[in-house]
Structure 1
Amino acid sequence: MELRNEEEILEAKGVDISLKDLSNKLEEFAKARDWEKYHSPRNLLLAMVGEVGELSEIFQWRGEVDKGLPNWKESDKEHLGEELSDVLLYLIRLADICGIDLGDAAARKIVKNAIKYPPKVMF
C-alpha cells in the first residue's frame, strides 16, 4: 500500500512498522516509478553512502551533543529523522536486492556480538 496524501502519512506516523513492511513499501515504490532497473547493489550502496554524508553534515560542526538532543530545535530533529530514514531505507533496499533478510541477519549479529563481548562480571 502506497501512501497517497499527507493525511495518510500522518495516520501512519504512530504505527509500528516492520523491516518487511518497509521492504514491501520500497519495492512497490520502485516498481510504480520503473526504478528497479536502477536499483543495483552498487547504485544503492553509493546512494546510501551519499545519504550517510548528508547525515554527517548535520553533526559536523556541533561537537559532542547530549543524548536526546535537548538543545536542538524541532526542525533540526525533524531533518535528522529524515536523513536517518534515508540511510535506513537505502540499507533495507540494498539488503533486499542482495537477497539478505536484514532482520534475521541483525538478530544473528547481536547473538554473535554477545558471545564475542560478554558482559563484565563484577564481584
Structure 2
Amino acid sequence: MAGAEDVTLVSLRKKMADFARERDWDQFHSPRNLLLALVGEVGELSEIFQWKGEVPKGLPDWEEEEKQHLGEELSDVLLYLVRLSDMCGVDLGKAALRKLELNALKYPVHRCKGSSKKHTLYSNDNDSVNEDRNSGTSEGALKY
C-alpha cells in the first residue's frame, strides 16, 4: 500500500472504504463506533507522550522506534477520522479549509500574533467574529 504516490484525503477515504468493504466491516462502521475507536486511538497516542514532559520540535532525543510507533498511532487517528467523516457524509478537506477561514476571523494576526490567549480575551463587540456569539449561535462549533 505504501508507495511514492501523493496522499490526499480523497485517496485515503477511498482506500479506507475499500479496506472495510473487502472485510465486510461496513456493518460495524457506524459513526458512534468509529468515534469510540477514534477516541481509543487518541488515548494510545497520548500514552506515547505521557511522562515525557515537554518535548522539542522534531523529537531529536527520541529513538527511531519511538518515532515509528508515533507515526503508527498518528496514522490510526487520521484513518479513523477520515473514515468517520466519510460515514457521516462530511468532506473533511473542505470542512478543514472552512474551519481555517473561521479561525482566521476569530484570531486576526494584528490582535493575536505571539499570544496563546483565547479569542474571547482580546476581541471586542465590533469584531465580526463576535456576531455569532452575540446572536446566540453556539460558539463551541467554531472552536479550533
Common topology (TM > 0.5): yes
2:72 maps to 82
Paired with 2:6 and 2:105, the residues of 1 have a C-alpha distance of: 29
Distance (Å, rounded) in 2 between the aligned partners of 1:76 and 1:99: 35
Q: Distance in 1 between matches of 2:63 and 2:77?
A: 22
| 1:102 corresponding residue in structure 2 | 92
Q: Which structure 2 segments of 5+ residues have no match?
A: 114-144
Aligned mates of 1:15, 1:111 — CA distance in 2 = 29
- 1:36 aligns to 2:30 (yes or no): no
Q: Which has the larger radius of gyration?
A: 2
Q: 1:21 aligns with which of 11, 16, 24?
A: 11
Residue 35 of structure 2 corresponds to which residue in structure 1?
A: 45
Root-mean-square deviation (CA, aligned residues, Å) is 1.3
Higher relative contact order (CA 8 A, sep 6+): 1
Match of 1:64 among 54, 69, 74: 54
Once residues 57 and 104 of structure 2 are traced to their aligned partners in structure 1, the CA distance between those partners, rounded to angstroms, is 24
TM-score (ref. length: structure 2) = 0.75
Paired with 1:21 and 1:88, the residues of 2 have a C-alpha distance of 13
Shift of 1:73: 0.3
Per-residue CA distance 1:58-113 (angstroms, 9 max, x = gap) = 00010100000000001000000000000000000000000000000000000010
Shift of 1:15: 3.2
Instruction: Quote how far apart the aligned CAs of 1:120 are.
Output: 2.1
Q: Which amino acid aligns with 1:98?
A: C
CA distance in 1, matches of 2:6, 2:60: 24
Unaligned runs of at least 5 residues, structure 1: 4-8
| Identity fraction in percent | 63
Which runs of structure 1 show a deviation greater than 2 angstroms over 4 or more consecutive aligned residues? Answer: none
TM-score, structure 1 length as denominator? Answer: 0.88
Alignment length (residue pairs): 112
C-alpha distance in 2, partners of 1:113/1:15? 31
